[in-house]
Chains A and B, each alone.
Chain A
Amino acid sequence: MSGDPTSSMGFTLKIWRQSAPDAKGTMETYHVADVSPDMSFLEMLDVLNESLIGEGREPVAFDHDCREGICGACSLVIDGQAHGPETETTVCQLHMRHYSDGATIHIEPFRANAFPVLKDLVIDRSAFDRIIAEGGFISTHTGSAPDANAITVAKDLAERAMDAAACIGCGACVAACPNSAAMLFVGAKVSHLALLPQGQAERNRRGLAMVARMDQEGFGNCTNHFECMAACPKGISVENIARLNRELLRGALAPRRV
């Protein structure tokens, strides 16, 4: 079965269907056949949708864009796990060879009040954009690309900033968190700027402003289950949450100019 591209698999899918943001959703059962083990999870859903459209039924709405694991658009909770069972893998990079033929798979949207369901498996993640708008930027005019090493950054700091900047803002951390907290996302965004010289100008207010917005958007509070880190397709470490907590303390203690 697995690994043989000529073989065909079939699955029973239990998928969350919800016609509109205010509509009541429910899990509905579908059967999908003729799935190649080398198809991605999203391609398997494409196969299902083709057959639904052929039958004159409403296809399942789901988010996707790059399908190469870098955009953060795909957002499914598969059998209770954000982005499914593979570590550091987005749904679009999850392949059906990881499932056994005939398996029953439950598919739900990322769930949090701050991520309202728009339709079926599609959610509204603009809360993340509003958090970024509060401080996830630098206001220095950077001009054209500077000469290499014109601004010196220590190697280990550059590495850690890069690790934090790997966050694609998919929201799996919120989906996997028992409290629907967004601390890993905010921690990553605050960390990657706090570690670099370019991020220093707004450093003292950045964390406080972004966390205030995060609370306002209705995300929960971090209680350090660390599920987010395990769900993150980019392997963002909870180290960034500890750094965010330090940045908050730093911001709170910083002298203010009137």
Chain B
Amino acid sequence: MGLTGLLLVGFLIEHLLGNFKLLEDSTGEAFNEYVLWLKSFGPLLQLAELGLAALFLCHIALALRLTLENLAARKQKYVVRGTHGEKTPGSVTMFITGALITGYLVKHLLDFRFDERYFEDPAAFVKLTLSQPQHGLAYLMAAFVVGLHLSHGFRSAFQSLGLSHPALNAYLQKLGIAIAVLFATGFAVFPLYFLFAWNGPAR
């Protein structure tokens, strides 16, 4: 769970950096060049895509097993559900945020990766899509949900992998929150920009 999660964070970093190509120029040339560069890898890109899909599927399958086993481990629930104060909004919603991300991922792939119009002029297509409220707001929500997921997931992954040290744990905790905020705001920039600040396609 932790290992696949951290590897997926690696993908998110690449994804976010790629996205910022959209804001490099107003013509979208930088982003389109980046898409062409990725495509130039040919079969290697397809291999990477397959690997990424396998990574997502592993993460989801492990999460399903973990959640089902954990739900089954306490059939008689507490009448009064309390807390000792360590649970966080991120930790208690991992499965829900994971399911939302999976749902959005399908929509996201259908919107871009599997829409043929996307490859005609990627930058223009992304801008047009995100400037539509139904797509832009969904992207915004997904950015927030990814942040919430990471607010627990990043720190948790290190603990599960046994990477824990009293001198480092406090920093890891802060780094986890920082990464959550970074990804949530980083990805939110694009729908916000194209919804509210963009002047529409160049005529």
Query: For residues 67 through 115 of chain A, which have their beta carbon under 8 Å from a beta carbon of chain B?
Result: 77, 79-82, 106, 108, 111-114
Given A224-B91, A239-B166, A80-B83 contact (CB < 8 Å): yes
Q: Report yes or no: A223 in contact with B78, Cβ–Cβ below 8 A.
A: no
| A227: interface (CB < 8 Å) | yes
Q: Report yes or no: A16 in contact with B79, Cβ–Cβ below 8 A.
A: yes
Chain B residues within an 8 Å CB radius of A77? 78, 80, 82
**B13 nearest CB across to chain A (Å):** 22
Q: Report yes or no: A111 in contact with B164, Cβ–Cβ below 8 A.
A: no
Q: Report yes or no: B86 in contact with A81, Cβ–Cβ below 8 A.
A: no
Chain A residues within an 8 Å CB radius of B197? none
Q: Report yes or no: A112 in contact with B86, Cβ–Cβ below 8 A.
A: no
When the two chains form the complex, which single residue of A178, A229, A239, A244 contacts B92, counting CB atoms closer than 8 Å? A178
Chain A residues within an 8 Å CB radius of B83? 80-81, 227
Interface of A is mostly: mixed
Q: Report yes or no: A245 in contact with B162, Cβ–Cβ below 8 A.
A: yes
Chain B residues within an 8 Å CB radius of A176? 84
Q: How far is the CA of A77 from the CA of B155 in the complex (A)?
A: 28
Q: How far is the CA of A140 from the CA of B11 in the complex (A)?
A: 49
Q: Report yes or no: B73 in contact with A218, Cβ–Cβ below 8 A.
A: yes
Q: Report yes or no: A114 in contact with B73, Cβ–Cβ below 8 A.
A: yes
Please, could you name 5 A-B residue pairs with CB atoms under 8 Å apart, sorted by A? A80-B80, A80-B81, A176-B84, A226-B86, A239-B164
Given A79-B80, A80-B80, A113-B75 contact (CB < 8 Å): yes
| B99: interface (CB < 8 Å) | no
| B66: interface (CB < 8 Å) | yes
| B87: interface (CB < 8 Å) | yes
> How many interface residues does chain B have, given as a range?
20 to 34
Chain A residues within an 8 Å CB radius of B66? 221, 223
**B5 nearest CB across to chain A (Å):** 11
Q: Report yes or no: B162 in contact with A242, Cβ–Cβ below 8 A.
A: yes
Q: Report yes or no: B164 in contact with A106, Cβ–Cβ below 8 A.
A: no
> How many interface residues does chain A have, given as a range?
35 or more
Q: Report yes or no: A242 in contact with B70, Cβ–Cβ below 8 A.
A: no
| B110: interface (CB < 8 Å) | no
**B164 nearest CB across to chain A (Å):** 3
Q: How far is the CA of A179 from the CA of B79 in the complex (A)?
A: 16
Q: How far is the CA of A220 from the CA of B155 in the complex (A)?
A: 20
Chain A 223-242: CB-based contact to B (< 8 A → 1; otherwise 0): 11111011100000011011
When the two chains form the complex, which single residue of A82, A218, A224 contacts B152, counting CB atoms closer than 8 Å? A224
| B163: interface (CB < 8 Å) | yes
Q: Report yes or no: A245 in contact with B73, Cβ–Cβ below 8 A.
A: no
Query: For residues 168 through 193 of chain A, which have their beta carbon under 8 Å from a beta carbon of chain B?
Result: 176, 178-181
| B156: interface (CB < 8 Å) | yes
**A248 nearest CB across to chain B (Å):** 8
Q: Report yes or no: B70 in contact with A223, Cβ–Cβ below 8 A.
A: yes
Q: Report yes or no: A111 in contact with B74, Cβ–Cβ below 8 A.
A: yes
Q: Report yes or no: B73 in contact with A230, Cβ–Cβ below 8 A.
A: no
| B109: interface (CB < 8 Å) | no
Q: Report yes or no: A27 in contact with B79, Cβ–Cβ below 8 A.
A: yes
7 closest A-B pairs by CB: A80-B82, A242-B164, A230-B84, A220-B73, A246-B162, A179-B70, A245-B162
Chain A 39-81: CB-based contact to B (< 8 A → 1; otherwise 0): 0000000000000000000000000000000000000010111
| B76: interface (CB < 8 Å) | yes
Q: Report yes or no: A220 in contact with B74, Cβ–Cβ below 8 A.
A: yes
Q: How far is the CA of A180 from the CA of B70 in the complex (A)?
A: 7
Q: Report yes or no: B159 in contact with A242, Cβ–Cβ below 8 A.
A: yes
